[in-house]
Structures are given as structure tokens and as C-alpha cells.
């Protein structure tokens, strides 16, 4: 038994006696003789159980117990109360204590109580781990999904959320880049600070620099006052640079310099202002090829892309489509005061077959549309936008002679594999045989397409 016990008791001799006894029984006790010392010990060290005397010089034991149960709900508290006072014992339990023992302390009873509290703590930890695991497979913050690519994304999000490294999020429009950036911020140590978003493609080039870095009075005609930039506004928080691929080339070296020196120079100013901000950037452009063709600076690319997150397109997330549909269905039927309960199997089939070029944003709009339109309590195919209802699988090979409509090799492969799978009625062994792929390779590819 290696339970770390925090003892808060004003009687010095009593503390020494308890320490010797508990150590002899295999616990690891530490003691403090007033509440404030106990509070700071708990702030800097890890304990498994807290043992508190009801009478303390600076704060009542009950009040301390209340504070600990609120701030450290997973650490059980055992209270030592005066003999015969059932009232204080009840107040102790009401204040969140796990157990109480009466004074004078029977050391065997104390040890038993501490052991039970320790078991409780171990169990609590297991439950927490389990419920976090469940939560993580279904969603991460507001991101819903349980497909393989989303599970992998949630693992990465969890791992990097509480670090300060710069993250570049790529993915098609509507795939959840902004939602991921917000989730990262919310789960970071900066969550009490602001998250400030700027869409680099929506602000005119001439304004972007002063928007980001601020300006001093008189820097240009309209600059009537000093103005803080977004870097300063995001102090102690996160700055989300959306559509960073559209950042004008004149601004790229200035942004790079700011990120490297962690200081900004307001437009027209001659002093530099330091900042403490985490940077998350997003783009739906292929930044690597933008670097190759010289429209995006390589050094800035590496600065932003310390960690790369790729949002999978919705069509690669399999039945997540239905999970997200259910979520939006609840939201919109509540908002539109309708009682839509679900979708028909035929409508679900349409949703699963569609290619979702606008990803989750398009799905959200489709569900909103269907809820508004439906005359029943179940969505039927006719309630869906026409495009989705009448959608036909793309031909495997496009016979077009228009270069902009030609598709990459990978996409031809994806369409063909799915075509064979459909034609064999979902028989994977047969599919692998026809394609002359070993089963493992086929499974891996299907997983990538979200059919895993």
C-alpha cells in the first residue's frame, strides 16, 4: 500500500504520532498544522487521501473539506471529529467528506478508513479513464465522429492540445478545421485566455498588417488613434489564422519575423511589443505545392507547420455521416419547433452515397433543409436537397477532355475499388481476389476510404 496521505491537524504531537503509526502500516504520510499550509501542499504535491481535523487555527476543518471537494473532487477526504458529536459528523459528510472518524483516534479504525478511501480513489481513477475513453471515441469537444480517421484525429488532438506548438490544420472546406482549432484552444492551458480568429482571405491586403500587428496614431490617413493588433488581443490565448494560404506575399516575411522573435511592430511605430500567443493556422490549399511554385514562403510554411493535422473529408468517414445527421436533426427540429425523430433507411442510403464536396457544412445545410421541408416525423429522400437525392456515383473514368475535370490516379483507384466491392455485394474476399490485392492491403485501403 503506497497511499500518499495528507494530514492537516493542529496538534504537533498528534501529527508525529499519526505519521509514525501510518508509516509503519505502509502509508506515505505528510503533515501540516494549519489549513493554508495544507492548501499549498496540495497545490504542489500529489496526494491520494486527505485527513483533516475539524478544529484548525486558521480555517474550520469543514470549510477546508468543502474547498477540497470542490477543487479536487477525486481525492477523498476523511474528517476527524469530536467524540459523540453526530452533528459535526453529518456536516462533514455534507461538506463532501468520504468518511469520518471520532477522536480519540483508534488507529486500527483510522487505517481501515484510509484503506477504503484509497480503494475508492483507485476505482474513481479507473472510471474517469473509462469515461474519457468513451467520450473520445464518440466526440472530441464539439467534433462528432467514431470512424477510424476521426478516432485517430482525436488521439492527436488530445496529445497536442496542451502543448504550445504551432499547428497547421489542412482539409477541404467545411471539414471542421475551425472547430478543431477551437477544441485545441479549449483543451489547452490557454483556455482561460481568448481565441482570436482572423480570416486572411477576407481582409483587404492594405488593412491586414495593421489588423494583425496594430498601428500607431498617424501611421496612415485614417489612423486617428493607436490601435492594438490581433496579436496583442490574443495575449495569453490563441491566434487562429484561417485561410493562411491566402496571406499576401508582402506580409509573409513580416509574419515570419513576428513569429520568430515573438514580438510585433505596430504599423508606423518604432518600438516592438512582445506577445505570448499560440498560433494555429488553417488552409484548404495545398500549401506544399504553393511553396514549390513560389507563392508561399518555405520558411513561413515550416514555422506554421510544426505539427500537421489533416481533416479527413466527410465522404471518408463512413457512418459518421449518420451520427452527425442525428446531431443536426435534434438541433434543427428543436430550433424549428418540429418533431422530426429520425430518417428513413432510403434517406440514410442517399446520405451515405453522396460525395459531400462541402463536407460537414453541406451536411448541416442539407439537414436544416430537410427538417424545414418534411411533412412527417421522419426524413424521406424527397426532403433532401435535389442534388443529394438524385446523386449518382461518379463514373470511374471520366471521359472528359477538359483538363480541369480530370481526376488524380488515387481517386480512380478509390472509385474502382468501391465499384468492385459494391458489385460483389460487399464480399471482401472476392473483391481482393478480383483486384489481385492481398486482404490486408484491401482492408487498409477500405479503412482509408471510411468503409473500414
Ligand X SMILES: Nc1ncnc2c1ncn2[C@@H]1O[C@H](COP(=O)(O)OP(=O)(O)O)[C@@H](O)[C@H]1O
List interacting residues with ligand X (CB under 6 A).
143-145, 171, 173-179, 324, 360-361, 364
Residue nearest to Mg ion (CB): 178
Burial of 85 (0-12, 13-18, 19+ CB in 10 A): middle
Q: How far is the CB of 361 from ligand X (least distance, A)?
A: 4
Cα distance between residue 334 and residue 160, in whole Å: 35
171 binds, among ligand X, Mg ion, none (CB under 5 to 8 A by kind): ligand X
Least distance in angstroms from the C-beta of 246 to Mg ion: 12
355: phi then psi, degrees, rounded to nearest 5: -95, -10
Cell of 437: 490485392
Q: Do the beta carbons of residue 309 and residue 281 sit within 8 Å?
A: no
The least distance separating Mg ion from the CB of residue 181, rounded to whole angstroms, comes to: 9
Question: Does residue 201 touch Mg ion according to CB under 5 A?
Answer: no
Torsion angle, alpha carbons of 364, 369, 374, 377, to 10: 20
- Nearest approach in angstroms of CB 340 to ligand X is 18
Instruction: Specify whether the backbone of 281 is left (phi greater than 0), alpha (psi in -120 to 50) or beta.
Output: beta
Q: Which is nearer to Mg ion, 240 or 301 (CB)?
A: 240
> Are 432 and 438 within 8 A, CB to CB?
yes
Tell the smallest beta-carbon distance from residue 412 to Mg ion (Å): 29
Q: Report how far apart, in Å, the C-alpha atoms of 238 and of each of 81, 142, 164, 277, 283 are.
A: 48, 18, 9, 5, 17
Question: Choosing among Mg ion, ligand X, none, which partner's interface includes residue 379 (Cβ < 5 to 8 Å by kind)?
Answer: none
DSSP code for 311:
P
Q: Shortest Cβ distance from residue 257 to ligand X (Å)?
A: 27
Please identify, using beta-carbon distances, which residue of 138 and 424 lies nearer to ligand X.
138
In the complex with Mg ion, which residue's Cβ is closer, 14 or 314? 314
| 179 binds, options Mg ion, ligand X, none, Cβ within 5 to 8 A by partner type | ligand X
Q: Closer to ligand X by CB, 324 or 340: give it.
A: 324
Binds 229: which of ligand X, Mg ion, none (CB < 5-8 Å by kind): none
Q: Which CB sits closer to ligand X, 324 or 420? A: 324
Residue 361 lies near Mg ion (rule: CB under 5 A): no
Q: Tell me the C-alpha distance between 62 and 59, whole Å.
A: 8
| Ranges within 163-182 binding Mg ion (CB under 5 A) | 178
Q: Which is nearer to ligand X, 146 or 272 (CB)?
A: 146
Report the site for Mg ion in 277-316 (rule: CB under 5 A): none
3-state class (DSSP) for residue 2: coil
Collect all residues with Cβ–Cβ distance below 8 Å to 103 and sequence separation of at least 6.
Answer: 80, 81, 82, 83
Residues that bind Mg ion (CB under 5 A): 178
Amino acid at each position: 500500500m503506497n497511499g500518499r496521505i495528507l494530514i492537516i491537524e493542529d496538534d504537533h504531537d498528534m501529527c508525529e504520532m499519526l505519521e509514525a503509526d501510518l508509516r509503519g502500516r505502509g502509508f506515505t504520510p505528510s503533515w501540516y498544522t494549519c489549513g493554508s499550509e495544507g492548501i499549498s501542499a496540495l497545490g504542489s504535491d500529489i496526494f491520494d487521501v486527505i485527513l483533516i481535523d475539524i478544529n484548525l487555527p486558521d480555517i474550520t476543518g469543514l470549510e477546508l473539506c468543502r474547498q477540497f471537494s470542490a477543487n479536487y473532487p477525486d481525492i477523498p477526504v476523511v474528517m476527524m471529529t469530536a467524540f459523540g458529536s453526530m452533528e459535526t459528523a453529518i456536516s462533514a459528510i455534507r461538506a463532501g467528506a468520504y468518511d469520518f472518524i471520532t477522536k480519540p483516534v483508534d488507529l486500527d479504525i483510522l487505517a481501515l478508513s484510509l484503506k477504503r478511501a484509497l480503494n475508492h480513489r483507485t476505482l474513481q481513477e479507473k472510471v474517469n479513464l473509462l469515461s474519457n475513453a468513451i467520450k473520445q471515441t464518440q466526440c472530441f469537444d464539439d467534433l462528432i465522429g467514431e470512424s477510424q480517421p476521426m478516432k485517430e484525429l482525436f488521439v492527436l488532438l488530445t496529445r497536442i492540445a496542451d502543448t504550445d506548438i504551432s499547428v497547421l490544420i489542412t482539409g477541404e472546406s467545411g471539414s471542421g478545421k475551425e472547430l478543431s482549432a477551437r477544441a485545441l484552444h479549449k483543451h489547452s492551458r490557454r483556455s482561460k485566455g481568448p481565441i482570436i480568429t482572423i480570416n486572411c482571405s477576407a481582409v483587404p491586403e492594405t488593412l491586414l498588417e495593421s489588423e494583425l500587428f496594430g498601428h500607431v496614431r498617424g501611421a496612415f490617413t485614417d489612423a486617428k488613434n493607436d490601435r492594438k493588433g490581433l496579436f496583442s488581443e490574443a495575449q495569453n490565448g490563441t491566434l487562429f489564422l484561417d485561410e493562411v494560404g491566402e496571406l499576401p506575399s508582402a506580409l509573409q516575411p513580416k509574419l515570419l519575423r513576428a513569429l520568430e522573435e515573438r514580438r510585433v511592430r505596430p504599423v508606423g511605430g518604432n518600438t516592438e511589443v512582445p506577445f505570448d500567443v499560440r498560433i494555429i493556422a488553417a488552409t484548404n490549399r495545398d500549401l506544399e505545392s504553393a511553396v514549390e511554385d513560389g507563392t508561399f514562403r518555405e520558411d513561413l510554411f515550416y514555422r506554421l507547420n510544426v505539427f500537421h493535422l489533416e481533416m479527413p473529408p466527410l465522404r471518408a468517414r463512413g457512418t459518421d455521416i449518420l451520427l452527425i445527421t442525428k446531431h443536426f436533426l435534434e438541433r434543427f427540429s428543436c430550433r424549428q419547433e418540429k418533431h422530426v425523430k429520425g430518417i428513413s433507411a432510403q434517406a440514410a442510403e442517399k446520405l451515405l452515397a453522396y460525395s459531400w464536396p462541402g463536407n460537414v457544412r453541406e451536411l448541416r445545410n442539407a439537414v436544416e433543409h430537410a427538417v424545414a421541408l418534411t411533412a412527417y416525423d421522419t426524413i424521406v429522400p424527397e426532403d433532401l436537397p435535389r442534388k443529394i437525392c438524385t446523386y449518382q456515383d461518379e463514373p470511374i473514368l471520366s471521359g472528359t477532355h477538359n483538363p480541369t475535370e480530370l481526376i488524380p490516379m488515387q481517386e480512380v483507384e478509390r472509385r474502382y475499388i468501391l465499384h468492385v466491392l459494391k458489385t460483389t455485394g460487399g464480399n471482401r474476399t472476392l473483391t481482393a481476389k478480383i483486384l489481385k490485392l492481398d486482404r490486408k492491403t484491401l482492408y487498409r485501403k477500405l479503412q482509408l476510404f471510411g468503409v473500414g
